[in-house]
């Protein structure tokens, strides 16, 4: 599903949390608001999985409801 990024906010201080699906610990580095193809706007976290390094070095993106913040 295509999305248009409306805004991005990077945190000065990261937050710790975990994925509600995998239970993996994550470090949240920012958030963004995106507009989906159907017109809905969704809030998303930008994060790194603590036990995994992405090959492209880019952060992962997840809906805020899918990440539990400590």
pLDDT, one tens digit per residue, over 45-59 is 999 999 998 999 999
pLDDT, one tens digit per residue, over 7-45 is 999 999 999 999 999 999 999 999 999 999 999 999 999
Runs of H (alpha helix) within the chain: none
Question: 31 forms bridges with which residues in the sheet?
Answer: 9, 45
With H, G, I as helix, E, B as strand and everything else as coil, classify residue 12: strand
pTM for this model (two decimals): 0.91
Per-residue exposure over 9-37, b if at least 16 CB sit within 10 Å of its own CB, e if not: eeeeeebebbbeeeeeebebbbbbebeee
What are residue 20's phi and psi, to 5 degrees?
-70, -15
């Amino acid at each position: 599903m295509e999305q248009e990024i409306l805004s991005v906010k990077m945190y000065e201080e990261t937050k710790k949390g975990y994925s509600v699906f995998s239970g993996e610990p994550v470090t949240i580095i920012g958030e963004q608001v995106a507009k989906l193809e159907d017109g809905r706007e969704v809030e998303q976290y930008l994060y790194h999985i603590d036990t995994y390094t992405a090959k492209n070095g880019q952060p992962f993106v997840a809906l805020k409801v899918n990440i539990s913040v400590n």
